[in-house]
Structure formats: structure tokens, C-alpha cells
Structure 1
Amino acid sequence: MSAVTSWHEEQGRPKPNVRGARAVLNAYKDRLAVDKAEAAQARQATAALPPQIRAMLADVDRTTLAGKRNAALVLLGFATAARVSELVALDVAGVVEAEHGYDVTLYRKKVRKHTPNTPDPVRQRRGHLPRPRAYLEALVAAGRTDGPLFVRVDRWNRIASPMTRRDKQTGIVKPIGDRPGG
């Protein structure tokens, strides 16, 4: 549905009404749940353990900006138990150095509830993260002191250029999740 809607938008055509298609898919999901089908069960990923984290970081070239970014991404994700969507949504201002490591403010989508007596959806996670310091210092050296924390880096070790919308620069640098392979 998303691809069809995007195609219509790109072609300058009116957006199709997907309400009926959503209703059919939701009814199908409900039927699978009632039938207790395996496809309806939530799938949980296995947590990475320290030996796996070390293996992930073993081949990372930490002399490059991309390598420093990748190491920071893995370590920060592990320390905060964050989802990828939560990590790519982080801003530079969301990571503050403290005496024990770094204070990281993450927006947790899964805990967002609009009911009374629910805590604020912004959660603060803390952890001692020695490696992200190198990445943060490299960002500052590249002139980046605000905006997305994890940005695309090209093969020449440069931060991605700002996004454009309809051939106009928005001034926003794309986070790494905005482009496959970035």
C-alpha cells in the first residue's frame, strides 16, 4: 500500500484510498489470531550478548568516521537496549557526557500510551559508553554539533549533504535510516 501510494504521489496523481485494503488486512490478521495461527504470534529477536557485540566490533575500522559511527551505533544500541528506529531518531543533543559515561535520552515508541497516570514517553537510559566519545569528537571536528546523531557517511569519509525536497535544500542532514545502505 505504501509503494502504491508513493508511486501515485510521484506521478502527480491523487492518492488512492487504502481504507478498504487496510480493513481486509486487519480482518485477516484478526482471523489468524482467533485461529491461533503461528503467523499471528509476535516474534521476538534474540538479544545480542557481549561476545557477539565484540565479534561485531572486531572488524570495524575505527579510524574512519563511518567506523566510529558504526561502533557507537552498536555500543549505544546494546547499552540502551534500543530499537533501530529509536537510535536513528537520536539527535546530537540527546547524548550528553556525564561522569559515569553518557546520558542518553531516547523516545520509546513502544511505551507511548495516551492514558492518565502514564509516565512521560521519553525515557532516559544511562550507561558507560567509552567508544561513542570518539564518534562525537569526530562529528564536532566535521562541524556537526546538532541534528541527527547517526548520519550517512560517504566513501570519502564525508557526512551526507542536506536533504532536498522538490529541489530545495531543507538544511536537514539525513539520518542513516533514510537511505538503504547508508
Structure 2
Amino acid sequence: MSESHALAPVERTPTQRDTHLSEDAWALILEATPATTRRAYRDDWNRFTRWCATQQRTPLPATAETLAQYATSLAMAEKAPATIGRAMAAIAKAHEAAGAGPLDRRGVKDVLRGYRKRYAKAGRSVKRAPALTLTALRAMIATLDPDTLTGVRDRAVIVLGFAMGARRSELAALDLTDLEPHAEGIQVTVRLSKTDKDGAGRIVAVPYGSNLATCPVRAVEQWRTALAHHGRESGPLFVRIDRHGRLGHVATGKGDPDGRITGEAVAAIIRRVAIAAGLDAAQAFSGHSLRRGFATAAYAAPDADLVRIARHGGWKEGSAALFGYLEEVDRWRKNPAAGIGL
């Protein structure tokens, strides 16, 4: 072969090749993943590559043995099983983006199976946000001042989120243009959600409520009127309010420039109002409490329709999470030990 056709040597070390993900690859990950998840995934991937560097293992592509050993290291650090599962999901997403092929997780599954048993024997359990009942919802709304911007916004966040069975990320992502008036209430377009991988979107019909204080349609209209009064007729539906009462104000270098609240802010609002209402386990309430509360309240209704409940809240068909919520209702309503003569 002539010298002019000789292949030039690659000067990148194996470690650099194994751990590097291009900005284009990360951009694809970010586009396909909700904001809160994408930050967690990137942090998980960075932790994994640092661990591999200390253990002299190859992170990309990672072998089944490397994955199992990493899962074991997290278990020995007493991380929750869900945290370990998310770390594996982040590693899998990085491999997918880099075109490195699927992961062999057989060893990880065995490690997690054994760790879950040890976790349960130690008296630990998976922390779940408590479902928000209608009684608790009314108590929370009663603490809000309807004459303040914060009170009006927080009421709209809570009752709309409950009525939609929405994820906190879905609430935070709503724009004013996603709401369309209807004779029966409002139609809300959810453009992106956790289970909507292709971005097809869904329309959620939110009817008028029978209770003025907790009617989601009236709560949202009051908030939209407040926004319009401050010159906001487009952009995000829910925005930050600073201690001076300014809407969407952004400190230098912090937050989205449009003032949109985050999913974490939704959870903080719910927890803060739950504490103000003096609810039991108020510190444990989160954005997911709205979603669980909707599912259990809707299922407890006399004309409950599982298919409609799932479609309304954007659950996948046969969702284990949804059935878990509904079991909480059936545990007593359809208890097989009741009525057998004990």
C-alpha cells in the first residue's frame, strides 16, 4: 500500500473512546426524555463512568459482569432498589445513544432480586407519595388566599392537576395555548408525557366542578385572568412568582427565561399547602399525590370505567402502577374476607 493511502493512527485512548458521548448523542437523549429524568440520567452516567475508572472497567460497552458489580456496589451503599434501577436505565440509554447495542442485564436482575428481599427483610419499603383525597384537597384549598397571585396560582395548579390525573412534569409543561374552552369545561392538550414516547399528545377533557372552591375550570380561568392583567396572554400557563409578587421573574442565570415553573416546583407547592392544612404525613405529599388521588377517587365512583381512567391520566394499557393504586380501593371495597361469616 502506498504511503499516501496508509491509514493514520487514532490518537484517542481506549478510555476516552469508551466513555465519550458526543453532544449530538446527548441531544437525542434529552429530546426523548423528560427534563427531570434527563438530569438524573446524566448524573447517573457520570457516576458510573467514575466508578469504572476507579475499578479499571470499561463503561462503554459495559459487560454483564461490570453491570452486576456496579449494581452490587450501589446495593452495598444501601441505595434504594428504584435508584439502582434508574442507574441501569441511564446506562442503557447512553448505550442506545452511542449505538453500542443492548445491555446484558441478566446479572443485574439477579442482584436486584436478592437485594429487594434483603431490603424488605430489613423493614424498609418503597416510599410512595400518599394519595390526595377529596377531603384533603378541600382542606388544602381552604388555606389559600384568593386575593394573592400565589394563592390563585397554587389553587389552579392543585385542582387542575388533580382533575387531569396529571404528572407534575405535564403540569409544568402546559402553555396557555394548550387550553381550549368548551361548553362542558376546558380541553387540555398534553403535548408530551412520560408514556408518550413519540410525542403524539393527548387531549384531556376537564369538566366544571360542582364545588366552587375546587372547580378546576373556574380556578384556571381566575389564574388566566390574573396572567392577562399582567400582560401575559401567551407562553407558559404556570409561572414563578417571586417574593415581590413579580410574575416569571428570573434571577440572573437561573431558570427558564420565560419564567415557567418546574416539576419540582409543582411538588413543592403541593407539599407546602399540605403542611399549611395540617395534613397527616404532609411532608410526604408530592406531585404524584395528585395523580394517585385522581385514580383512587375516580375508581371509587359508582360508574368507574378503568379504560377511561387510564386514557384520561395517560397510563399505558395494563399499567401496573395504575392497578396498584386501584388495589388500594378494592382492598376494602371488594375484600374477600368480608361477608364470609367471621
Shared fold by TM > 0.5? yes
Amino acid at match of 1:134: Q
The reply to whether residue 135 of structure 1 matches residue 205 of structure 2 is no
With over 3 angstroms needed to count, the CA separation of the structure-2 counterparts of 1:99 and 1:42, relative to structure 1, is farther
Amino acid at match of 1:102: I
SS in 2 for 1:110: coil
Is the Cα contact below 8 Å between 2:239 and 2:260 reproduced in 1?
Answer: yes
Q: Where do residues 39-58 of structure 1 align in structure 2 (5 Å cutoff)?
A: 44-58=128-142
How far residue 121 of structure 1 moved from its aligned partner, in angstroms, is 3.6
1:48-107 CA-partner distances (Å, limit 9, x unpaired): 221111011011011111111000000110000001111111111112222111111124
Deviates more, 1:132-141 or 1:38-47: 38-47
Equivalence for 2:204 = 125
Greater share of residues in helix: 2
Is the Cα contact below 8 Å between 2:247 and 2:259 reproduced in 1?
Answer: no
1:9-38 CA-partner distances (Å, limit 9, x unpaired): xxxxxxx68546585352796345332716
Is the Cα contact below 8 Å between 2:240 and 2:259 reproduced in 1?
Answer: yes
In structure 2, runs of 5+ residues without a counterpart are: 1-38, 52-58, 60-66, 72-87, 89-104, 209-216, 270-342
In structure 1, runs of 5+ residues without a counterpart are: 7-15, 115-119
SS in 1 for 2:218: coil
SS in 2 for 1:37: helix
Q: Where do residues 71-110 of structure 1 align in structure 2 (5 Å cutoff)?
A: 71-110=155-194
Equivalence for 1:13 = none
Is the Cα contact below 8 Å between 2:156 and 2:223 reproduced in 1?
Answer: yes
Size of the aligned set, in residue pairs, is 164
Instruction: Find the partner of 1:150 among 238, 262, 278.
Output: 238
Is the Cα contact below 8 Å between 2:241 and 2:249 reproduced in 1?
Answer: no
Is the Cα contact below 8 Å between 1:95 and 1:103 reproduced in 2?
Answer: yes
Q: TM-score, normalised by structure 2?
A: 0.40
The list of structure 1 runs, each at least 4 consecutive aligned residues, that deviate by more than 6 angstroms after superposition, is 178-182
Instruction: Find the partner of 1:173 among 258, 261, 285.
Output: 258
Larger radius of gyration, structure 1 or 2?
Answer: 2
What is the alpha-carbon distance in structure 2 between the residues aligned to residue 74 and residue 178 of structure 1?
Answer: 13
With over 3 angstroms needed to count, the CA separation of the structure-2 counterparts of 1:34 and 1:71, relative to structure 1, is same
